[in-house]
Structure 1
Amino acid sequence: MGPSGTMGGNIRIFLELTKRWLHKFKINVVTHEEGFKTCQYYGLKDANYHILNLGSRYLHVPRAMGFYAIIFQIIKMIEAMFLLLSIKEVRFKKKCSVIYSATDFWPDVMPALVLKLRFKNKIKWIAAFWLAAPSPFSKESPYKGRWFIKGLLFYLYQLPIYRLINRYANLVFVTSEPDVERFITKNRDRSKILVVRGGVDVNLSEQVREPEHKAYDAVFIGRFHLQKGVLELIDIWELVMKKKRDAKLAMIGCGPLEDKVKEKIRKHGLENNIKLFGFQDGVDKIKIFKSSRIVVHPAIFDSGGMAACEAMAAGLPGVSFDLEALKTYYPKGIIKTPCFDLEAFAENILVLLNDERRYQETRKDALEWSKEWDWDKRALEILAELERV
């Protein structure tokens, strides 16, 4: 779990669901110091915390420091195992306890697996598996050219985790319908694989007033990462500007490609047309949404992407590529573009900006679909599913 200035969908799901389940269960959270601060910042104050002391000390070791980053992950795994074994609800409780691994990273998965193997029927393991790493040799992989080695390492890092989860987890949380099949085994049927999707704070969106003037034609929100299509978005926006010279794009987020995004904007002279806001959350984020006309979701490899639905809840219709996962994730409210046709993507943006009837129809669909994602509703639905299995 990262600091409060960053927020992946995996941690958002954990925080929002846990806040809504605290009244029903006693919840223990094992995390490092920054993770604790993030939980406190987002209102998860009443859980029982177990802080990783060594994990906190080595938290800021850069990932690029290969060997040291690996040592850091091993330290976190070992310390988390000992902390979990010290929790009395795990050791002495006669009825079943549930352990939830919030990501598919080794430091989260291995302690959960060790407890599952150690206590067997006393432990039910719910494993989150949000995004399957693509084979670096597949045409769907975004890790091409100089990024190939990174994609290969990602794939090899995750492959053993996938196999361990598939063999030992009692339940699996996935993001979208296409991910369900990979976890069906002779010991786990479809009912024990829950499509969580994510959620949005519909009430917060409704509390923020619409401005008199829309400052941005479109907004992007997400991680600045190869998978999210952020570099392709700069090219798309140039194509939009060929027909709408004053087109303005807001980009919310941060990530490993942040410097490359800034460099590409400068190189193409788009400083007056693209504004970077960095990480934003809460009311500040909603204000940017409501100052925009549409949301763009140019992900080129994704299992969903709930950030776009936050903008849809603010009344923004969207444009995306027609990824397999998005067919069920966003069945309406977003115009789908043939995969990875940048010119067609730009044309769909212009359709929404210029065709008022199409804009209002898609906007209505976006608002209707986003109401299905309300966090209060999603928390109740997921809890009901868990209690059934």
Structure 2
Amino acid sequence: MDKIIGREAELNLIAKYHDSNRPEFIALYGRRRVGKTFIVRIFFKDKFDFFTTGILEGTYEEELKCFCDSLKEYGYKGNVPNNWLDAFSALASLTAKAKRKKRCVIFLDEISCFDTPNSGFIRALGHFWNQYASRQDNVFLVICGSATSWITKNVLNNKGGLHNRKTHEIHLHPFNLAKTERYFVSRKAKWSRLSILQAYMVLGGIPYYLNMLDMDESLPSNIDRLFFSEDAPMRNEYRRLYRSVFKSPERYIDIIKALATNKSGMTRTEISDATHIDSGSGLSEMLSDLVACDFIRSYRNGLKKNGEFYQLMDFYTLFYLQFCANPSTDRNYWKNTLNSPIQNTWYGLSYERVCLAHIHEILQALHLDTIHTEYYSFRSKVTSPKVQ
């Protein structure tokens, strides 16, 4: 069995909920490639009473067929469902055969894909839980997805049949620097701590990205292979990333690009001016979505009650926009620009963000975590250009 690094807390939660002896509805979410599906499959050793996964950008017919094919795979022999109510009725019939003395584990992966326009998927899921699953002490339903905003809106904050129905939620965040180092140790990497830090600045704490590193190569060679070679695998990840998280990613990408131009962050008004998106509820919702997906953070400057700023914190996105949006034709670009001003400046700015992402760890290391502290970014109002 594959060994899971840095997810002990999440595994302990799943184990705790699994042993609760009551019906459980677990919402597991986090950005693409963070390891959501992996952690569930490893915990249950791929032994599910029902498992299916949605198709990215699939049609209603494709999603329903995918679900029905999974029903057949697990032994369903009834009539072919014609809609989502029928499909979940079939699922109830299938899982009713599970032994009452053991957990009946149902895993719906990439669940947002099933919710095509006017499909009635959410209503059917709510009916399945309320009418059947919540009455079965052995049911353990796990829903999972990269579209964090969809799960937040349709499950966590649902106002209809799923209102307050989930029993627990687990937000799977990227690794911090300490967990990233543990991952490198598990791979028997002989890289220095500086190289591990620099890898974190490029890829962030995303397990899937870190797994693409060849530990027998140097970090510069890895960066050239992943980002600047002819078939660089990480060059196309940017579009896939935002398309998998948001059904209409264009305006989200506009916000991300605007935030990438200002290292200390921007106010909602500044973002609105830069992107030409009205500073209303639509923009507020998109910013909340980006925060929930760990792409950006929100913070206050300590002066104004409403002085909220938004800052891009996704390391992969920052690297991509700096060096790959208009890629060099040099396939050894990173090795050939070592110690150049552009690299050194980028490393300096990226190091600041690493520190911001590890404020609590720094406070612990300095033994300041036992006193009340607040931290802010400084923005001058009088100098031109403004001091950052």
The TM-score with structure 2 as length reference comes to 0.36
Q: Which has the higher contact order (CA 8 A, sep 6+)?
A: 2
Task: Give the greater-gyration-radius structure (CA).
Answer: 2
TM-score (norm 1): 0.36
